[in-house]
Structure 1
Amino acid sequence: MTTLNGVALAGRAGHWDVALEGARIAALTPSEAKGGGLLLPCFADAHVHLDKTFTAARVPARPQSLHEAIALMAGDKPNWTAEDLRSRAARGLRRAFANGTKAMRSHVDWTEAGVPEALPVLRGLAEEWRGSVELQLATLTPLDAFAEFGETIAQEIAGTGAVLGAFVYRNDAIPEKLRAVFDLAEKHDLMLDFHVDEGLDPEAQGLDAILDETEARGMTGRVLVGHCCALSVRPEGAVTDLLGRAGEAGMALCTLPTTNAFLQDATPGRTPRLRGLAPIHEARAAGMPVMLASDNVCDPFYPQGDYDLFDVYRTAVLSGHLSPADWLASVTETPAQWLGHDVALAPGAPADFIHIAVSSLDDALNRPRAARTVWRGGAPIPETSGDFA
């Protein structure tokens, strides 16, 4: 049996001795000892793009908007061979694992009628990484394309555990087109994940139509909305009403603080005034599960990042004025539960956690270079597991 003595546990007062027996936590016991470091649950990253990752060096310019980034990414897609996709996505999974992520949802671009090259590649990686990083896939298709091949997408992913996703922004006839997406989700028993209102136009109101359908169909716990940047510039009364309804409807919100900060209100030579951060305090107060996620990593949408959710969390604590202890669950338990997993530290649970050589959660945020060790199955993982070359 291995015991970690005098550790601080995020969300619990005092210090604890953590006894490990094999690959499980045997006991958590209050301790008089101190100085054992901090233990965090493993992370769950509910919104990433493994098919796009590590392409930033291949695009010719820095985008000044979301739509410029989309165009730059489209220009790189001829390079997306199976070998290229596998190499880049596997690198992302290695980084995530080394940084303490245990579960992940990756979007897969599906913009034409045929099955995208990335889908079988990422399915293969999901099998290879099962037990290390539980990888769930979500298709990502422009809303207008569902009329052409939405049924094909739904049939392909039905029964696989994948999620049906759409990109919604200032489309024509949004309510009618969304009804077709929800019809497919009900027909094939699929969860839904939307990139919605990812801009600073107050007239971007795709969220309203998504909420209408979620309420009408009683799809509690099955609809996740991501980005929702436009809520940051819409009238307060409308936002309060929408979030209250969304909380009652059981919708969840995933906010992406790094990518949104990079792309929103970007003008050369001008300091940005608006950052596009969704109203996450208000959303959580209204009863919505709220998550933080990595989104894009080293691609035209965000040319930095390392699949390190603690870094994303640190960024959000600053940009969103978050109380650290109150919001740690937004990168651990909350997204893990939404993805169908449990990362809580408790007797009998897997001995999977993150140890940081600090005295408290605040100390960890203050000292980004503090030593971090990821434990899986009751033992530290090798330091080289991230393959940082």
Structure 2
Amino acid sequence: MRDMDDRGELTGIALAGRAGHWDLRHEGGRITALRPSQKGGGGFVTPLLADIHTHLDKTFTAARMPHRAGSLFDAIEMMARDAEGWTEDDLRSRAGRALGKAYHHGTALMRSHVDWNDAQAPLAWQVLCGLAEDWRGRIGLQLASLTPLDRLVEIGSSVAAQIRDSGGILGAFVYRNADLAAKIGTVFDLAERYGLDLDFHVDEGLDPDARGIDAIIGETARRGMAGRVLCGHGCALSIRDSQEVAGILDRASEAGIGLTVLPGANSYLQDAAPGRTPRLRGLAPLREAQEAGVPVMIGSDNVRDGFFPYGDYDLGDMFRLAVLAGHLPPDEWLDSISERPANWMGHSLRLTEGGPASFIRIAAEDAGDAISRSRAARAIWRDGKVLPELQGEQQ
């Protein structure tokens, strides 16, 4: 597989989401022609990627954790202690490293959640807003606040006003809260008042009584906020009654909410116990959700922190984990890390004539072959040029 810069033709490529083989011509950083081909063997080409659920404020802190997290709430406590020592330089260095890795692995769009526990914006929000400007044109970075639901009810007006002014997304952590329906209603009140989209961490545990997603679906439907409410995790759905879950997913589809599934951190934290193999992995019913018509997306979530000490901002690697864990047909699910989350963030990454010559080319025959051979050569194209491979400390 030989890649060319500036102008030329890629012949006989297999193109994600399209049958047969194709020839792709490009010049001046744009795709000038995309035509069916009689040749093959040109590699497998996908659009660039959209990582809709990350945590750049926490990233690359795993080495500072005192022990392996025994549960989600253990990880929350460890990260809260570590956050007490965060500085502007520390945040900028860690998050900047993460963005560099994501860029070189083919991510074009990203949404990062940021812990927000007080009325005023945290330092991490300010730093990441600056990084979003620095990376404009390379990675489109959106920010979403992350506040425990009970706390958000107390400080919501201040938080929502600042998020509106900085163009962010309003988010909350929801898990078995008292007076759940009323508090969820308050979050939707804030979204309507300040014109904000919503992104929830919801039911991130294995308690069948965790039913935050039910309340969110109902409120989304009542407010007519289809396409503006995203739910991440949904681990409790994996152990609730299957018929009950089927009805929930049907209602979610009708309401127009999206679901983000996070196979890395969820499989690491759920049903964790020392010296014991986990039986339950907390993987939300992503296949059933998609079949019901719910837009399902896959994200990196935490990378090398107290919640998940692994990862490299390689969304293709996380997709491989999702395919294996969820028994997914890979060619049917590539949109879950590309066009679908891109659309949810207000963009498109689809390869079209006249569009940017920005894509990923893998030395593979198709999606299944790429999943089977994780070390297959991969070239990241940006505006008609192949990015150099990461070197040294960047790796």
TM-score grouping bracket, smaller chain normalisation: over 0.9
- In structure 2, the residue matched to 1:370 is 376
Cα distance in 2 for residues equivalent to 1:374 and 1:148:
45
Counterpart residue type for residue 129 of structure 2: R
Offset, 1:388: 2.1
Give 3-state SS (helix, strand or coil) of 1:384's partner.
Answer: coil
What TM-score, normalized to structure 1?
A: 0.98
Cα distance in 1 for residues equivalent to 2:222 and 2:377:
49
Cα distance in 2 for residues equivalent to 1:199 and 1:150:
25
Give 3-state SS (helix, strand or coil) of 2:260's partner.
Answer: strand
- In structure 1, the residue matched to 2:224 is 218
- In structure 1, the residue matched to 2:322 is 316
* 8 Å CA contact 1:9, 1:40 repeated in 2: yes
What whole-Å deviation, never above 9, does each CA across 1:162-201 have from its counterpart, x for those lacking one? 1000000011111111111100000010000000000000
Give 3-state SS (helix, strand or coil) of 2:22's partner.
Answer: strand
- In structure 1, the residue matched to 2:3 is none
* 8 Å CA contact 2:252, 2:294 repeated in 1: yes
Give 3-state SS (helix, strand or coil) of 2:112's partner.
Answer: strand
- In structure 1, the residue matched to 2:86 is 80
Cα separation, partners in 2 of 1:141 and 1:249, compared to 1, 3 Å: same
- In structure 2, the residue matched to 1:48 is 54
Counterpart residue type for residue 182 of structure 1: F
Task: Check if 1:29 corresponds to 2:35.
Answer: yes
- In structure 2, the residue matched to 1:128 is 134
Aligned length in residues: 389
* 8 Å CA contact 2:120, 2:159 repeated in 1: no
Cα distance in 1 for residues equivalent to 2:259 and 2:288:
11
Question: Does 378-387 or 118-127 show the bigger shift?
Answer: 378-387
Cα distance in 1 for residues equivalent to 2:351 and 2:65:
42
Cα distance in 2 for residues equivalent to 1:361 and 1:178:
40
Give 3-state SS (helix, strand or coil) of 1:268's partner.
Answer: coil
Cα distance in 2 for residues equivalent to 1:157 and 1:317:
35
Task: Check if 1:110 corresponds to 2:116.
Answer: yes
* 8 Å CA contact 1:91, 1:387 repeated in 2: no
Consecutive unaligned residues of structure 2, counting only runs of 5 or more, are 1-6
Question: Does 122-131 or 155-164 show the bigger shift?
Answer: 155-164
Counterpart residue type for residue 97 of structure 2: R
Counterpart residue type for residue 288 of structure 2: E
Cα distance in 2 for residues equivalent to 1:385 and 1:350:
26
Task: Check if 1:282 corresponds to 2:288.
Answer: yes
* 8 Å CA contact 1:43, 1:102 repeated in 2: yes
Give 3-state SS (helix, strand or coil) of 1:342's partner.
Answer: coil
What TM-score, normalized to structure 2?
A: 0.97
Offset, 1:307: 0.7
Task: Check if 1:96 corresponds to 2:109.
Answer: no
* 8 Å CA contact 1:95, 1:387 repeated in 2: no
Residue 65 (structure 1) aligned to one of 64, 67, 71: 71
- In structure 1, the residue matched to 2:143 is 137
Give 3-state SS (helix, strand or coil) of 1:4's partner.
Answer: strand
Consecutive unaligned residues of structure 1, counting only runs of 5 or more, are none
Aligned-residue sequence identity (percent) comes to 58
* 8 Å CA contact 1:293, 1:309 repeated in 2: yes
Correspondence list, 1:1-389, <5 A: 1-384=7-390, 388=394
Cα distance in 1 for residues equivalent to 2:152 and 2:22:
53
Instruction: State the superposition RMSD in angstroms.
Output: 1.1
Cα distance in 2 for residues equivalent to 1:34 and 1:282:
35
What whole-Å deviation, never above 9, does each CA across 1:265-323 have from its counterpart, x for those lacking one? 00111111100000111111111110000000000100000111111110011100101
Offset, 1:384: 3.0
Runs of 4+ in 1 over 6 A off after TM superposition: none
